[in-house]
Structure 1
């Protein structure tokens, strides 16, 4: 297992990245510390968060995940051993209530908000710089040139090392890359999309965005690589769903006949390999040349221990082909001709 370069940046990343949406939500601070300790001990180095995590839960105004990470790094004295990625764009405040209608515009990708949000993230993280600062999603009210200019200023100040994006469509990503090239702004080195074996998620990424990443050398750090737990095998065809909001969401979005067939193939390969199904799903992603590191979440050290071995699991060409086939989709005429 070797570390992977994130796009054209100077950041080298362990093949599994740690997501922290659950910190201060479904994982308390002590558990969060234990998970991060185990992640670093296993060789992990990229920790991904966002300023809004997790303001949709009671008593969380956003910034809580960043604060937990900041206190953990300070207590461990290990800032030089980890890479910190965070994001800007979403509304801050309890349930985002201080965002969209707040007179100070506490969200978005304007120069004013980006500079304010970056300073706030640095304070919460208790660090002098952010390794990867990502725009969480598009802001249709702000020209991309203004956003990129502000992000460039952050890099030149030394507050940010590299910039990336998340949830951008292919044409939005090309627009940003073109603006950077035309005006001499810092360019995105990575994208964080939703990407996994399940459909339509796989097709949504591979139809166009993957081609942009390959052509222009962007690193891909997929979120929800296990489709909200669907690819772990915790849900089975014909079995009653757990009584939870998340399970109902999984049912409505992913539990179709093709995805059950995908899960069957993942379970079959996992059984032959003596591996956890999640490891197989992650190893498939890591077989893609443009994928740097899938982002996994864990509410316990035990959950993390099931996931980290995916970094060294090498699927055979036959196994990859089988997973590609079962998760394929009918190509349009345009797709066939590209």
Structure 2
């Protein structure tokens, strides 16, 4: 276990994404994934109030509701760390103070709990003064409804501004930041965000570490709508090496278009190195990619999702694998060419 920033919360060095729950994983499959994650030593579960409103027929909160049914069945609320987010639920958009309070209460009701361990501002809200949002989160923390304040998808400059407000007003600083960061997307995180987190002792829990369930290689088998596409992690599909054929095989769907942005000489060079290291170590490519990310300075727990329990062993192994100095250097060098 490792500490989540300055929060005092102890977590397994891999977070389980719940964005597949109620979408590509039904309730029974989701429960199996959660059981396997906990059986493998995991305890940090990530979701959002907006999961999965982007799926036709869903209204938002499906993932939280499934996690709630699992918690109720296993009676293990105190043994796990739950992180959820506010700003994307159709009924609770943005980060105005009243909305934060209402959205949090709705999430707590769906989750069947009276507190959330980690509560994220999911996306920056330029329409609401940052001081008002920071105050709203601090108010909920003081009320005991959240244990740690967290930010997701914020620029380094906006994180620094939030920190300045907290120091001026006497608020507790955010303990966690969830950025977009992986082997083929190192910037702007390393240049603009990581230094801010390091200075404040904030934990980094990178999303898009691999892909939301695509590490099995079933990439071309899942039909997705344009509403789903913005929430997908297509990076993992690349890191598995499953797309190293013809660019035309991606097709013209939204997910293929998103994945094709990584289909470059530099991106494929990263895949080659990941594949070589995985073969030499006798592990899955996903394991190597997670291990590299986990060992980056400031990273506490990479975030990855699994559609089925069978996909979890490779992810969990990434939380344990120790890369050699030579392997890390090779990955550092080749991935730096991507940006």
Please, what TM-score do these two structures have when normalized by structure 1? Answer: 0.90
Q: 1:236 aligned to 220, 234, 244, which one?
A: 244
CA distance in 2, matches of 1:184, 1:316: 43
Change (3 A) 1:40 1:245: farther
Deviations 1:214-270 (A, max 9, x none): 221110001111214211222114376366846413433211110000000000000
Q: Is the 2:247–2:260 contact (alpha carbons within 8 Å) kept by the matching residues of 1?
A: no
Listed as ranges, the gaps of 5+ residues in structure 1 are 94-105, 332-338
Contact 2:83-2:120 at 8 Å conserved across structures: yes
- In 1: Cα distance, 2:236 partner to 2:188 partner: 16
Alignment of 1:86-101 (within 5 A): 86-92=84-90
| 5+ long unaligned stretches in structure 2 | 211-234
What per-residue deviation string (whole Å, max 9, x for no partner) do you get for residues 63-83 of structure 1? 010000011100110101100
Q: Which residue of 1 aligns with 2:73?
A: 75
Q: Which residue of 1 aligns with 2:206?
A: 222
- 1:289 deviates by 2.4
Q: Please say if residues 266 and 338 of structure 2, whose CA atoms lie closer than 8 Å, have aligned partners that are also in contact.
A: no
- Measured in 2, the distance between the counterparts of 1:280 and 1:330 equals 18
Aligned length: 315
1:246-305 deviations in whole A, cap 9, x for unaligned? 641343321111000000000000011001001100000111120001111111011112
1:161 is aligned to 2:161:
no
Match of 1:305 in 2: 313
Runs of 4+ off more than 3 Å? 237-240, 242-247
Rounded to whole Å, the distance in 1 between the matches of 2:89 and 2:74 is: 31
Q: CA deviation at 1:187?
A: 1.5
Q: Secondary structure at the match of 1:141?
A: coil
Aligned counterpart for 2:186 among listed residues 190, 202, 206: 202
- Determine the structure 2 residue equivalent to 1:50: 48
When the two chains are superposed, the root-mean-square deviation of aligned CA atoms in Å is 1.6
Q: Are the aligned partners of 1:228 and 1:250 in contact in 2 as well (CA < 8 Å)? A: no
- Residues 177-213 of structure 1: CA distance to partner in whole angstroms, max 9, x if unpaired? 0100001112211110111000xx2122111111111
Q: After TM superposition, give the deviation of residue 26 of structure 1 in Å.
A: 0.6
1:180 aligns with 2:188: no
One of 136, 140, 153 as aligned partner of 2:122 = 136
Is the 1:241–1:247 Cα contact (8 Å) retained in structure 2? no
Q: Which residue of 2 aligns with 1:36?
A: 34
1:261–1:326: 8 Å Cα contact kept in structure 2? yes
Q: 1:196–1:208: structure 2 CA closer, same or farther, 3 Å change rule?
A: same
Partner Cα separation in structure 1 for residue 253 and residue 31 of structure 2: 26
Distance 1:180 1:66, change over 3 A: same
2:101 to 115, 136, 148: 115
Residues 73-109 of structure 1: CA distance to partner in whole angstroms, max 9, x if unpaired? 001101011000000011425xxxxxxxxxxxx3111
| Residue 276 of structure 2 is aligned to residue 290 of structure 1 | no
| Match for residue 254 of structure 1 among 258, 262, 268 | 262
TM-score, structure 2 as length reference? 0.90
What secondary structure is seen at the aligned counterpart in 2 of 1:305? helix
